[in-house]
Amino acid sequence: MKKFVRDFELIANKRINREYYLLVLKSPERLPEMLPGQFVEIRIDNSKDTFLRRPISLYDVDMDKQLVYLLIQEVGKGTRKLAGLKAGNSLNLIYPLGNSYSLPEEKAKVLLVGGGVGVAPFPLLAKFLKQNNVEPEFLLGFRNKELLVDLADFEKYGKVFLSTDDGSAGEAGTVMDHSVLKASSFPYVKVYTCGPQVMMKAVSKFAEELQLDCEASLENTMACGFGACLCCIQETVRGNLRVCKEGPVFNTKDLIW
Amino acid sequence: MVDLKVNIGKLMCKNPVSTASGCFGYGHEYDDFLDVNRLGAVFVKGTTGSNREGNPYPRMAETPSGMLNSVGLQNKGVDYFVNEIYPQIKDYQSHIIVNVSGSTIEEYVEVTEKLNVLDKIPAIELNISCPNVKEGGMVFGTHCPSAIHVTREVRKAWDKSLIVKLSPNVTSISEFAKAVEGEGADSISLINTLLGMAIDARTRKPVLATVTGGLSGPAIKPVALRMVWQAYHAVKIPIIGMGGIMNATDAIEFILAGATAIQIGTANFIDPAVSIKVLEGIEKYCDEQGVTNVNELVGALES
């Protein structure tokens, strides 16, 4: 897929909760095909203490309106800087980067299991699944109800099962404690996961025990984002692979983690 | 019209702008962003005798005005390069220069011999300065008798242009520059990364899995300029300067300090088309300054 570098206009910077915000960016031209699981690299301008771009997963893409949606958590200097941007600001993006999630072999129900800001790739993934006659349902975990995302962005594609660590919304505990994973039958043919590594490993193990295909989208510190620097490697059965190029989506059976 | 052609020893380049090893993959990673054929040369990823998986993760730390890396020469080895990669990149109109790395002198020589038969590789860059491998690498570049020894043996195995990439992690860069010139290097490139480290105060742990790594980016530019200037006054062979070049002005500063050509490294990660912008900026600078041949600027620092 051809990659582009362009200045986008920030249309809106919506506060989602005290840690997350959603950037809505308008492309100066028709967008190329953008696949679920892919990401963009944002240049952080006018910032002396950040040097590299920040890789951010695609939350949603509106091809007709030429809009890109990015759900971001404030975790460091770069994401704090982006949080302060206002409509009308310009942002330089490299896109689309990385590989993408793949469809299940069988057109049936699939489960998307996400934790925290790791739910970010799911709206675009769910849209893609629906377009291909696959039924997505979601199992989403958050620390508490104050840190939820806008669930309507997920509910429009399928049922959402919710868990919070403190039980303030949905079931109490982690996603692994949720009744949907404890039920006697598991009506899904494939599992997609994104979130903290400890959660993804648990989800992957769960899927493996049921002999289900599982794809995980990994996070890693990147310098370039397009395969040149070899900084963001993940150990796999095929050797060290680049999360930015061969990933960020991996079939969990290939991962050594 | 500005004449941008430069001779790096035996190697004639259409302009002084090239991209640094480890920062530009094999060139084709950048095809979407720029016309690689416009560059004077492309220095491809460090190549060793056999497959290397490199260092464990994390391999990168962002630092003020720069970054640390500890990739550790991850590459699939010289045979893979010759059989799989070379056929894909040999038709670029830029010089393809292979960065030759190793843990032992025998390995450096083995890689060199295998590359010597490739028509479209007009030069190698002997990497005696990688700070991220336990054996070899920087050991050769920071101990002068070792630098002399490896340059001598590789020189015997290589007929074409030989560039030796020097380490900045030495007290006297002039001593190393003179030493490799004495062994028949056609040119030298400098600087490789500076050995550094980053610490996470909260966890009390080093950020990199290898603890130390190589510092690059604008943070190292003043050190790099100083070393290019010192080397220029120590040797007669041409110098390829690098270290934190982000734009054409930075590149001109290196040329004024004594570099005949320059390499762009870390800047490619932030702006993948930066090398072409630097090329166009050098031409503009020459136009504005009434310089008709870029070689007039080499070492033209006034003091």
ipTM: 0.94
What was the pLDDT predicted at A46?
Answer: 84
What was the pLDDT predicted at B61?
Answer: 97
Burial class (CB in 10 A: 0-12, 13-18, 19+), B303: exposed
- Residue A104: inside a domain, yes or no? no
Tell me how far apart the alpha carbons of residues A136 and A108 are, in angstroms, rounded to a whole number.
Answer: 9
**Residue B45: CB partners within 8 Å, gap ≥ 6?**
A230, B21, B22, B25, B26, B75, B99
Contact B54, A240 (CB under 8 A): yes
What CATH code is carried by the domain that includes residue A70? 2.40.30.10
- Residue A141: inside a domain, yes or no? yes
Same-domain status, A18 and A87: yes
Contact B77, B101 (CB under 8 A): no
Is-catalytic flag, B130?
yes
Contacts of B213 in chain A (CB under 8 A): none
What was the pLDDT predicted at A148?
Answer: 97
- Residue A103: inside a domain, yes or no? no
Same-domain status, A151 and A193: yes
| Chain A nearest CA to B271, separation (Å) | 9
- Residue A102: inside a domain, yes or no? no
What was the pLDDT predicted at B129?
Answer: 83
Same-domain status, A85 and A175: no
Start-to-end CA span in chain B (Å)? 29
**Residue B177: CB partners within 8 Å, gap ≥ 6?**
B166, B188, B190, B230, B231, B234, B235
Cis check for the bond before A136: say yes or no (omega within 30 of 0): no
Which residue does chain B place closest to A43, by CA atoms?
Answer: B270
Same-domain status, A80 and A18: yes
Q: Select from A4, A228, A235 the Cβ nearest to the Cβ of B269.
A: A228
What was the pLDDT predicted at B138?
Answer: 75
Tell me how far apart the alpha carbons of residues A200 and A216 are, in angstroms, rounded to a whole number.
Answer: 7
Same-domain status, A240 and A163: no
Long-range contacts of A198-201 (CB under 8 A, 24+ apart): A199/A113, A199/A115, A199/A118, A199/A141, A199/A174, A199/A175, A200/A118, A200/A252, A201/A257
Tell me how far apart the alpha carbons of residues B82 and B110 are, in angstroms, rounded to a whole number.
Answer: 13
Same-domain status, A208 and A222: no
Same-domain status, A68 and A84: yes
Going along chain B, which residue ranges are E strands?
Answer: 6-8, 11-13, 17-19, 41-47, 60-63, 66-69, 95-100, 123-127, 161-165, 187-190, 194-197, 199-200, 205-206, 212-216, 239-241, 261-264
Structural domains in chain B plus CATH codes: 6-297 (3.20.20.70)
Query: pLDDT tens across A25-51, in order?
Result: 999 999 999 999 999 999 999 887 899
What CATH code is carried by the domain that includes residue A180? 3.40.50.80
What was the pLDDT predicted at B92?
Answer: 97
- DSSP state at residue A85: -
Residue span of the structural domain in which A22 resides: 4-97
Same-domain status, A53 and A130: no
Tell me how far apart the alpha carbons of residues A66 and A102 are, in angstroms, rounded to a whole number.
Answer: 24
Domain end marker among A55, A74, A97: A97
Same-domain status, A30 and A92: yes
Domain end marker among A38, A69, A97: A97
Query: pLDDT tens across A85-132, in order?
Result: 999 999 999 999 999 999 999 889 999 999 999 999 999 999 999 999
What was the pLDDT predicted at A48?
Answer: 77
The two beta strands, B239-241 and B261-264, are: parallel
Contacts of A239 in chain B (CB under 8 A): 51, 53
Query: pLDDT tens across A162-187, in order?
Result: 999 999 999 999 999 999 999 999 99
The SS3 assignment for A91 reads strand
DSSP-assigned beta bridge partners for residue B206: B199
| Chain A nearest CA to B45, separation (Å) | 9
Same-domain status, A168 and A88: no
Of the residues B13, B130, B144, B286, only one is catalytic, namely B130
Structure tokens at A23: 């950037």
What was the pLDDT predicted at B301?
Answer: 96
Interface test with A, best of B73, B270, B274 (most A CBs within 10 A): B270
- Residue A93: inside a domain, yes or no? yes
Scanning the structure block, which residue is given the tokens 């952080």?
A44
- Collect the ranges in chain B with pLDDT lower than 50: none
Reported residue count of chain A is 257
Contact A41, A175 (CB under 8 A): no
What was the pLDDT predicted at B131?
Answer: 73
Phi, psi of A51 (to 5 degrees): -115, -40
Contacts of B48 in chain A (CB under 8 A): none
What was the pLDDT predicted at A6?
Answer: 98
* Neighbour count for residue B92 (Cβ, 10 Å): 19
Interface test with A, best of B44, B57, B271 (most A CBs within 10 A): B57
Tell me how far apart the alpha carbons of residues B106 and B85 are, in angstroms, rounded to a whole number.
Answer: 23
What was the pLDDT predicted at B132?
Answer: 72
Start-to-end CA span in chain A (Å)? 28
Domain count, chain A: 3
What was the pLDDT predicted at B192?
Answer: 96
* Neighbour count for residue A99 (Cβ, 10 Å): 18
Same-domain status, A62 and A137: no
Same-domain status, A70 and A113: no
**Residue A75: CB partners within 8 Å, gap ≥ 6?**
none
- DSSP state at residue A72: E
